[in-house]
Amino acid sequence: MTTDQELKDIVRQKYSEIALQDKETNQSSCCGSGCCSTDVYNIMSDDYTNLEGYNPDADLGLGCGLPTQFAKIKQGDVVIDLGSGAGNDAFIARHETGDTGKVIGIDFTPAMIERARQNAEVRGFNNVEFRQGDIEKMPVTSNVADVIVSNCVLNLVPNKDGVIKEIYRVLKPGGHFSISDIVLEGTLPANIQQAAEMYAGCVSGAIQKQAYLELIEQNGFENITIQKEKVIHIPDDILLNYMFEPAIKQFRNSNTGIYSITVYAEKPAAAKSC
């Protein structure tokens, strides 16, 4: 059985490789996992190009939504981007928060941190910083962020409850998050669930949609809202790396669903009385 640390090591190694790839290569696979299709499929990611603050050099095509579009970021806000990659969402958040705000990107892959810092340096973004660290133990103090965003990252983390607890800790009272992630309805075939490449590709690390929302509620968040939801379709030529055609057909005819959801929730402004 693969341990949590072994899963983290798999993801770190894979995303170190992804940091050196271009967007087109990453988009032809599951979140850059390398299980390449014969055609270029935009399997997970949404189109960022119309968002203010977008920087193509920072877009590796690894997301599964547009959390910064829904995050209600205001001028002067402190924003934290979990799993910041090459800086794509952080730079869009910077546009929204302006020169008076601050954006902190957190990523545990050194190659991603280096690429993001280079992207920030060349653009002179002095109010954006990138910190290497585990989002289960964020390298930031408590009650510091007005807004937290994340794009297709929590599904890669074995201890999702721990991450949500950390989000609660670092948000200011009254702060909120907008997170895009992959969730499931139904059960994935075992050979997909166990495939390390698919885990690094944002699918087999996903949990049930209802369980995901319940984790958020159980950790004290309020006004939980699904801001956007879309079906994720994995092409047959990718699935053929893991299963034979009859199994794919059976999978297609099942009620199993893979979804990208963007979830919004708020930390209460004041502690509730008992």
Distance CA 64, CA 46 (A): 6
The verdict on residue 272 lying in a domain is: no
Residue closest to 83 by CA, chosen among 53, 63, 68: 63
Distance CA 2, CA 194 (A): 9
79 near 39, Cβ under 8 Å?
no
* CATH number for the domain that contains residue 191: 3.40.50.150
The verdict on residue 250 lying in a domain is: yes
The verdict on residue 270 lying in a domain is: no
**Phi–psi pair at 200, nearest 5 degrees:** -65, -15
pLDDT tens digits for range 154-164: 988 889 999 99
The verdict on residue 273 lying in a domain is: no
The verdict on residue 271 lying in a domain is: no
Domain carrying residue 204: 4-265
Q: What is the pTM (predicted TM-score) of this model? A: 0.81
Q: How many structural domains does the chain have?
A: 1
pLDDT tens digits for range 187-236: 877 777 665 455 546 676 789 999 999 999 999 999 999 999 998 877 78
